[in-house]
Amino acid sequence: MNFNEHLVHGRLIKRYKRFLADVKLDNDEIVIAHCTNTGSMKSCLEDNAEVYLSPVDDSNRKTKFTWEMIKINGDWVGINTGNPNKLVFEAVKDGKIEKLKGYTEVKREVKFDDSRFDVMAKNETETCFIEVKNVTLKEENYALFPDAVTSRGKKHLKTLIKVKEQGMRAVMLYIIQRMDVNTFAPAKEIDPEYSKALKMAYKKGVEIIPMQAKVTPEKIELVKELPFEI
């Protein structure tokens, strides 16, 4: 996934009210950027860290920038929760994820039961519903999800089980937007109920695919699938 516009460099002053961040640009101007990440952002927040913002040309938006990434331990961590959906849609459509190749029809935001899944992929023999989650939390060498309690995440897992029970393919796809980890796991201490729900979904046939992505100011690129422990 390439960034269509030239990103703007700055340094983080602070994040506040979940959705806002003050950033000092290289020209010393201080701007307010929209933060799409509603979680705690634990392990990917650091005062004065380098950040990149995407400019927004929308008269209806109060904030004129969207926060895309932050540099932690010398490498970029992608924090825009909207990007993984675009990344996965492109990757499935282009056959770039090994376990999700061979689909001839790929759509975004498709409703099933009481949920709306990020991607639906079909071919002549099967239909696959894919829920995508952005992962930024790091603990030792583990990428963990979620970084805050998520009732919506549990709901998606329950609906994925229904997808599987109706004879279709159900996939929980985690996009890990950082390169300093090598294994995925649920964050049991943060949300034990989500961890239990994920384990149940896996037992019921829901597939778990954690994909690591390399984030740069030019693009976000899938690198490899990581092993997982649940």
Q: What percentage of the chain reaches a pLDDT higher than 70? A: 100
Task: Kindly state whether residue 88 falls inside one of the protein's structural domains.
Answer: yes
For residue 185, give the CATH number of its domain. 3.40.1350.60
pLDDT of amino acid 58: 81
The pLDDT tens digits for 201-221 are: 999 999 999 999 999 999 999
The strand order across the sheet containing 137-139 reads: 137-139, 142-145, 183-186
Q: Is residue 2 assigned to a domain?
A: no
Give me the helix-helix angle, 192-203 and 151-165, nearest 10°: 10
pLDDT of residue 5: 83
- Tell me the residue type at 5: E
Q: Are residues 140 and 192 located together in one domain of the fold? A: yes
Q: Which residues of 204-221 are buried (b: 16+ CB within 10 A; e: fewer)?
A: eebbbbbbbbbbeeeebe
24 within a domain of the structure (yes/no): yes
Backbone angles phi, psi at 16, to 5 degrees: -155, 160
120 pLDDT more than 90 = yes
Among the three residues 45, 76, 107, which one is the final residue of a domain in this structure? 76
Q: Which domain CATH number covers 30?
A: 2.40.50.580
Nearest to 185 by CA among 151, 131, 137, 220: 137
Digit-coded pLDDT (tens) for 170-202: 999 999 999 999 999 999 999 999 999 999 999
The pLDDT confidence band at residue 74, using thresholds 50, 70 and 90, is very high
Instruction: Please give the tally of structural domains in the chain.
Output: 2
Same domain as 197, residue 95: yes
Looking at the structure, tell me whether residues 154 and 91 fall in a common domain: yes
Check whether residue 107 and residue 208 sit in a common domain. yes
Domain closes at, from 76, 110, 134:
76
Do 194 and 141 fall into the same domain? yes
Residue 18 belongs to domain spanning = 8-76
Boundary (domain end) residue, out of 30, 57, 76: 76
Same domain, 161 and 125: yes
The per-residue pLDDT for range 29-63, each reduced to its tens digit, is 999 999 999 889 999 999 999 999 999 988 788 89
- Both 18 and 131 in one domain: the answer is no
Residue 112 CA to residue 117 CA, distance in Å, equals 7
Q: Are residues 104 and 207 in the same domain?
A: yes
Q: Write down the residue that tokens 């992962």 correspond to.
A: 135
Q: What is the DSSP string of 14-50?
A: EEETTTEEEEEETTS-EEEEE----S--TTS--TT-E
Query: Are both 65 and 16 inside the same structural domain?
Result: yes
